[in-house]
Each structure stands twice: as C-alpha cells, then as structure tokens.
Amino acid sequence: MKRILTVVTAVLMGCSLFAGNPDRRGEAGASELLMNGWGRSSGLWSMNTADIQGIESERLNPAGLAFTNKTEIGASYTLWLQGSGIGVAHFGICQKLKDNAIALSFQALNIGSIVKTTTADPEGTGSGSYTPFFVNIAASYARKFSNSISAGVNFRFIDEGFANINAAGFCVDGGLQYVTGPKDNIHFGVSLRNVGTPMVFKGDALTTTTEIISTSTYELTVANRVNQFELPTQLNIGAAYDVWMGRKKEIQPKVFKQDFRLTAVANFVSNAFGYDYYGVGVEFGWKEILMLRTAYRFEQGMFNPATRLDAYTGLACGFTIDAPFKKDGGPHLAIDYSFRSTSPFQGTHSLGLRFNL
C-alpha cells in the first residue's frame, strides 16, 4: 500500500505540472466548485487536507470520509463576501459500512435576483428579473485499506444557468490520506479535484432575431455560439501533526486518550487557472468538545493592494462546540463557525450543524 500511495501521489503531482499557470486565470468556469462553505474546515482555510474527516471531506479530500464513525449528517450556510448578497448552502450525509463509507452531498448558491437587461436597454428592460442557479451534487465512496492508508473518490454533477439557458458537466475528485506515528499523530494527504468534462452554455437565450433585407424584408432566428470552458482543476498536498497533552485515560485495552490536543497543519494548493496557495494553521481541542482554530493562506501579490487579485486577505479562524448526548460518548451534535477576512466586503461567515450517530 505504501508503494501504491507513492505512485499515485507522483502521478497527481505530475498532472499538476501541466495543469496550467496564472496566465490562464479567468479562463475556467464553475468556480463554485472551489467555494468551501463547511463551517469547520473553512476555519482552517481548507488547509487540513491531511487530517480532514467526516462529511466535510467531500469538499477537500474524500479519503477523510472513511473516518466517519457510523452516520454523519451535516448542513451549513455561508454569507459569502458579506454585503455581496451571495449565499452558499451545503448539505450532506455519510454512512460507514465496515471499512467503507458512502456519502451524498449537495451544494447550491443563492445570488438573488438580477434585473433583465439587453444591449439596447443596459439599465433594464422593465420586464422583471431572473434568478440564476448554481447546483452540484456529489456521490462519494471511501475506504480504509489499513490502519494507515485511506482513499476516496467523488463523482460530481454540475448544473448552472437560469430559465432558458444552462450548462451541465461532470467531474471527479480523488484523494489519499496516510497516518503514522506513535499515537497516529502524523498525517499526510493529497487530493486532485475537479477533473472532468468541459462545459458550454446552451439554450433559447442564445438566439436572436435578425432582420434580413433582400428583394423582400423578413426576420431570421440566429443561434449564437459560445465557447466552452474548463473546470478549475486543483491539487492539494498537506501535512498535519498532533500533540496530545493532559492526563491519560484508557478507553480500550492499550488505547489511551488525553484531554488536550494541539494540531499544526500545512498545505500547498496548485491551481490550474490561477496563483498557487500555501498556508499554515493550528487547532486546539479540549476533550474534542471545544475546538478553536486559526489559519493563514498566502498567495502571490496579496500584500500589495495594487497586485492582489483576490478579495481574501489571508486570515481565517473559527470554533466548534461538539456536545455528546451521553458522558460515555455515543451520538453528538456539533456547531461550527468560521470567519475569513476580506477587503472589501465584511468577510465571509459560515455556520454549520453536524449530527453524528
């Protein structure tokens, strides 16, 4: 399995070398695939590729789905770039089946209504408004091959448009996680996301009526062609290290648990159609009931407003309150919140609920 992990990682890294560069920025579409609205992982700026677990893994590294205890149901809503009027909703359910896990997840954007305009009436036609839709649905599978290695894959359907025009596509995400160390406290992870079919918009909205003047005048309906666009392929490589502290408690024969955990994470993101990201983060946990986290994501030119191409300024933070229904464990309910700083706008805020059986 170590050989398989090494070969697959090398292949994924090789794919990224030919994926693209910043000169192609803006050429990809379906950018909602890069929008993580889950309340827990977004507090680390999605830097936890190596140790992400549960339903949120579908957005970053599907291998983490294999660590679901039994059944997990999650929902989250995000005020994306607060003040822009954009909302992002996530919902998902994951079920563990021995060493396997299956999941179904859903993402939708709410960007409100847009006034109808034409080239002749750029200020509005007075005939109302329309509401675009951006939806994607993923079916996922993950498996633990050993105590050290897990792998997962997403199959995602994408649909976007409005009443009389839409574009549909399909993509695949794949990921691996490797755990080692005396307390299973050293984590490595890699994932390749959004590898799929190009998309193109089609529909009646692309047709126009043109007046033809010849021996007689008549109207002809013309269909305008539009270019297809690629999906925003992305490679994530990450590592994490856990430091356990506090008194030891034996929960199983020769299996101990401690009260305090401090986890450091580091991550590199290769974007096929833009600048690469890299960043670090830290999470502190008390009995896995209260967790505080913060991270910083770096991007080329981000410290100079004249060269920064992103509204995000790098800082993310958040917390989780994970309350068990019984003292000895069992089902528990978690509340997740995260904040990501921006300029302009008033930041991005995510609030989520997760229920674990």
Angle at 93 between CA 89 and CA 94, to 5 degrees: 140
Task: Look at the block and give the residue holding tokens 């995510």.
Answer: 350
Give me the tens of pLDDT residue by residue for the chain, a chain 357 residues long: 555 555 455 555 555 444 445 666 667 888 999 999 999 999 999 999 999 999 999 999 999 999 999 999 999 999 999 999 999 999 999 999 988 999 999 999 998 888 888 777 888 777 778 889 999 999 999 999 988 999 999 999 999 998 788 999 999 999 999 999 888 899 999 999 999 989 999 888 777 777 777 666 667 777 777 888 999 999 999 999 999 998 887 766 666 788 999 999 999 999 888 888 999 999 999 999 999 999 999 988 888 888 888 899 999 999 999 998 887 667 899 999 999 999 889 999 999 999 998
pLDDT score at 24: 67
Our count of domains for the chain comes to 1
Distance in angstroms (rounded) separating the CA atoms of residues 72 and 91 = 11
Distance in angstroms (rounded) separating the CA atoms of residues 330 and 350 = 26
Residue 203 lies in a domain: no
Secondary structure E strands in the chain: 71-80, 86-97, 100-110, 114-115, 129-130, 133-144, 149-162, 165-180, 186-196, 207-213, 217-223, 234-252, 255-271, 277-286, 290-299, 312-326, 329-342, 348-356
Distance in angstroms (rounded) separating the CA atoms of residues 194 and 25 = 16
Cβ(318)–Cβ(336) below 8 Å: yes
Q: What do you get for the CA distance between the two ends of the chain, in Å?
A: 30
pLDDT score at 1: 52
pLDDT score at 18: 43
Cβ(49)–Cβ(163) below 8 Å: no
Which CATH number covers residue 18?
Answer: 2.40.160.40
Residue 212 lies in a domain: no
Distance in angstroms (rounded) separating the CA atoms of residues 287 and 40 = 17
pLDDT score at 113: 85
Write the burial class of residue 80 (CB in 10 Å: 0-12 exposed, 13-18 middle, 19+ buried): buried
Residue 225 lies in a domain: no
Residue 217 lies in a domain: no
| Helix (H/G/I), strand (E/B), else coil: 113 | coil
Angle at 156 between CA 150 and CA 162, to 5 degrees: 155
Its domain, for residue 318, covers 2-194+232-356
| Helix (H/G/I), strand (E/B), else coil: 42 | helix
Residue 213 lies in a domain: no
Residue 199 lies in a domain: no
Residue 221 lies in a domain: no
CA 242 to chain centre: 23
Residues of 229-244 as b/e, b for ≥16 C-beta within 10 angstroms? bbbbbbbbbbbbebeb
Residue 211 lies in a domain: no
Cβ count near 16 (within 10 Å): 20
